[in-house]
């Protein structure tokens, strides 16, 4: 297989062309930091979310789910430390008006107050709070300020006692949540990597103080194994430990899983030991007792420590798109058809699992293909395409990342078999129609990326 360079431009352009992701409000010139997920994009995002949810809840007896509101009592964000600390250092160029995160441009530019783009003069560095603020109710005054949550985690902390009581959870246990979060990011670039509106998949694991380090290491192991199971390129993943200067205000220890995106190594997910910071602060600000009473241990009371795994769902969509993207030379005729673009999604993540294609529209092939699709629909996400040359139709499915194509031809009418074509190898085999569902199930279960 010839090597091609994967660039963010190529991934972005394919994502738009095939209806994965569109720029928000494009007809008005676009809205910075916001993106819309098209027909294929929403399917991919839902499958990534579903895979994570299954991993966290179905496969872990000691984790339950939650869906908390985006709007929370404003005191939440005072208690969490976000009002005071959730800031980025910001500088502006007085000449070209570009805005930078001071920690993302070279130190010497800050010291010399020199714009890295145009050489113009930079402003002093100032703190910029990333939380979106709005008002609730009719009057626009400071008394009714409310924030869009910058992380989903706090919805979990404020509910932890409810969940212990209603679901009889015992420490150690976890609460998982997927939902939107909002940050007024200064620099939004690299497509959906860093956006103002995004989704997170967070799991907060409540443990007894003193066992937190052990659980922290355990969750690091589990999160690494999760990506392995997802079938992503493991040489594109690495750990990065936060140094003392990098640690968030709540963190005792933090490690990021980084992925090698086309623009370089970047954070994909964080595993954090948040200590008893959050529950301690909520106890202090709400006046409520946030301690756990260990009924199996002489009613011992303590404030649990929290180990958090925090992954971006939309960032995972970008990772999966980049990871799956491939260009392969399939012929040597000297034209652009020599190459195919293929998204090598794991079949369980692919937006379309199987496409049914009649070789011809006529002679009853289309009708037979429709019947087969109707049957497959019960178990798989399907597509149907009867237009154009079969080779072109395969290419369209390759670009959408469809792992299997079923082609109905004249022989199908005679012996009730079809061609099953595999996206990755382009291999084609004959399969009886009656065995298709079982065969596809088996292929999905045993899939290994070549």
Could you tell me how many residues of this chain bind ligand ATP (CB under 6 A)?
A: 16
* Tokens standing for residue 309: 């795994």
Q: Give the three-state DSSP class for 45.
A: helix
- CB 230 → ligand ATP: shortest distance, Å? 15
* Tokens standing for residue 46: 């839902």
Taking CB under 6 A as the criterion, the residue among 315, 373, 421, 423 binding ligand ATP is 315
Site for ligand ATP in 202-231 (CB under 6 A): none
CB closest to ligand ATP, residue no: 312
Rank residues 178 and 406 by Cβ distance to ligand ATP and give the closer one. Answer: 178
Rank residues 194 and 421 by Cβ distance to ligand ATP and give the closer one. Answer: 194
Taking CB under 6 A as the criterion, the residue among 273, 309, 314, 419 binding ligand ATP is 314
Site for ligand ATP in 68-127 (CB under 6 A): none
Taking CB under 6 A as the criterion, the residue among 312, 347, 358, 401 binding ligand ATP is 312
As to burial, measured by CB atoms within 10 angstroms (0-12 exposed, 13-18 middle, 19+ buried), residue 397 is: buried
Rank residues 246 and 338 by Cβ distance to ligand ATP and give the closer one. Answer: 246
Closest CA to 104 of 187, 182, 34: 187
- CB 102 → ligand ATP: shortest distance, Å? 14
- CB 296 → ligand ATP: shortest distance, Å? 33
Closest CA to 9 of 172, 295, 17, 220: 17
Taking CB under 6 A as the criterion, the residue among 310, 353, 382, 402 binding ligand ATP is 310
Q: Is 318 one of the binding residues for ligand ATP (CB under 6 A)? A: no
Q: How far apart (Å, rounded) are the C-alpha atoms in residues 400 and 409?
A: 23
Rank residues 311 and 354 by Cβ distance to ligand ATP and give the closer one. Answer: 311
Q: Is 258 one of the binding residues for ligand ATP (CB under 6 A)? A: no
Phi-psi region of 334 (alpha: psi -120 to 50; beta: other; left: phi over 0): left
Given the rule CB under 6 A, which of 67-75, 103-111, 268-276, 405-413 is the region that contacts ligand ATP? 268-276
- The CB-based long-range contact list for 381-389 (8 Å cut-off, 24+ gap) reads 381/43, 381/350, 381/351, 381/352, 381/353, 381/354, 382/352, 382/353, 382/354, 382/355, 382/356, 383/352, 383/354, 383/355, 383/356, 384/355, 384/356, 384/357, 385/355, 385/356, 385/357, 386/357, 386/358, 386/361
Given the rule CB under 6 A, which of 141-149, 164-172, 263-271, 358-366 is the region that contacts ligand ATP? 263-271
Give the per-residue contact string, 40-69, with ligand ATP (x = CB under 6 A; - = no): ------------------------------
- Evaluate whether 181 touches 69 at the Cβ level (below 8 Å): no
Site for ligand ATP in 147-166 (CB under 6 A): 151
Q: How far apart (Å, rounded) are the C-alpha atoms in residues 418 and 368?
A: 11
Given the rule CB under 6 A, which of 120-128, 227-235, 310-318, 383-391 is the region that contacts ligand ATP? 310-318
Name the percent of the chain in helix, strand, coil, to the closest 5. 35, 30, 35
Give the per-residue contact string, 167-206, with ligand ATP (x = CB under 6 A; - = no): ----------------x-x--------xx--x-x------
User: DSSP letters of 324-386?
Assistant: HEEEEE---SSSGGGEEEEE---TTT-S-SEEEEES-STTTHHHHHHHHHHHHTTTS-EEE--
Given the rule CB under 6 A, which of 108-116, 266-274, 294-302, 346-354 is the region that contacts ligand ATP? 266-274
Given the rule CB under 6 A, which of 138-146, 233-241, 312-320, 340-348 is the region that contacts ligand ATP? 312-320
- Evaluate whether 320 touches 44 at the Cβ level (below 8 Å): yes
Task: Tell me the HSE value of 64 on the side-chain side, using a 13 A CA sphere.
Answer: 18
> Please, where are the H alpha helices in 18-137?
39-53, 75-79, 82-85, 107-112
* Tokens standing for residue 350: 């692919």
* Tokens standing for residue 100: 């930078």
Q: Is 270 one of the binding residues for ligand ATP (CB under 6 A)? A: yes
Site for ligand ATP in 236-255 (CB under 6 A): none
- CB 358 → ligand ATP: shortest distance, Å? 42
Given the rule CB under 6 A, which of 132-140, 311-319, 334-342, 417-425 is the region that contacts ligand ATP? 311-319
- CB 263 → ligand ATP: shortest distance, Å? 13
User: Under the rule (CB under 6 A), what is the footprint of ligand ATP?
Assistant: 151, 183, 185, 194-195, 198, 200, 267-270, 310-312, 314-315
């Amino acid at each position: 297989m010839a090597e091609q360079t994967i660039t963010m431009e190529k991934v972005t352009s394919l994502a738009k062309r095939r209806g994965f992701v569109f720029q928000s409000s494009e007809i008005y010139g676009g809205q910075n930091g916001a993106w819309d997920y098209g027909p294929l994009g929403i399917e991919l995002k839902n499958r990534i979310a579903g895979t994570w949810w299954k991993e966290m809840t179905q496969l872990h007896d000691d984790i339950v789910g939650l869906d908390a509101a985006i709007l929370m009592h404003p005191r939440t964000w005072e208690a969490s430390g976000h009002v005071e600390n959730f800031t980025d250092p910001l500088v502006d160029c007085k000449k070209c008006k570009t805005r930078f995160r001071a920690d993302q441009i070279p130190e010497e530019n800050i010291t010399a107050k020199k714009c890295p783009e145009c050489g113009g003069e930079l402003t002093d560095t100032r703190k910029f709070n990333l939380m979106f603020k709005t008002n609730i109710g009719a009057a626009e005054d400071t008394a009714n300020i409310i924030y869009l949550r910058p992380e989903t985690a706090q919805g979990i902390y404020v509910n932890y006692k409810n969940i212990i009581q209603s679901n009889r959870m015992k420490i150690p246990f976890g609460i998982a949540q997927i939902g939107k979060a909002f940050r007024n990011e200064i620099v939004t670039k690299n497509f959906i990597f860093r956006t103002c509106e995004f989704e997170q998949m967070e799991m907060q694991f409540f443990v007894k103080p003193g066992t937190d380090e052990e659980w922290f290491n355990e969750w690091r192991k589990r999160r690494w194994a999760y990506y392995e199971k997802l079938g992503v390129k493991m040489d594109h993943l690495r750990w990065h430990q936060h140094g003392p200067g990098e640690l968030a205000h709540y963190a005792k220890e933090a490690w990021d899983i980084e992925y090698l995106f086309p623009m370089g190594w970047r954070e994909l997910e964080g595993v954090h030991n948040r200590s008893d910071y959050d529950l301690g602060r909520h106890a202090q600000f709400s006046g409520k007792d946030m301690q756990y009473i260990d009924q199996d241990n002489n009613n011992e009371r303590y404030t649990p420590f929290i180990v958090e795994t925090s992954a971006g769902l939309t960032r995972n969509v970008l990772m999966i798109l980049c990871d799956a993207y491939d260009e392969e030379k399939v012929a040597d005729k000297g034209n652009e058809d020599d190459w195919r673009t293929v998204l090598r999604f794991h079949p369980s993540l692919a937006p379309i699992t199987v496409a049914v294609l009649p070789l011809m529209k006529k002679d009853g092939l289309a009708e037979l293909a429709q019947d087969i699709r109707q049957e497959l629909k019960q178990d798989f996400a399907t597509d149907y395409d009867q237009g154009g040359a079969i080779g072109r139709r395969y290419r369209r499915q390759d670009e959408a990342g469809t792992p299997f194509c079923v082609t109905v031809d004249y022989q199908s009418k005679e012996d009730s078999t079809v061609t099953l074509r595999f996206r990755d190898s382009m291999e084609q085999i004959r399969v009886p129609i009656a065995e298709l569902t079982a065969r596809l199930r088996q292929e999905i279960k045993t899939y290994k990326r070549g």
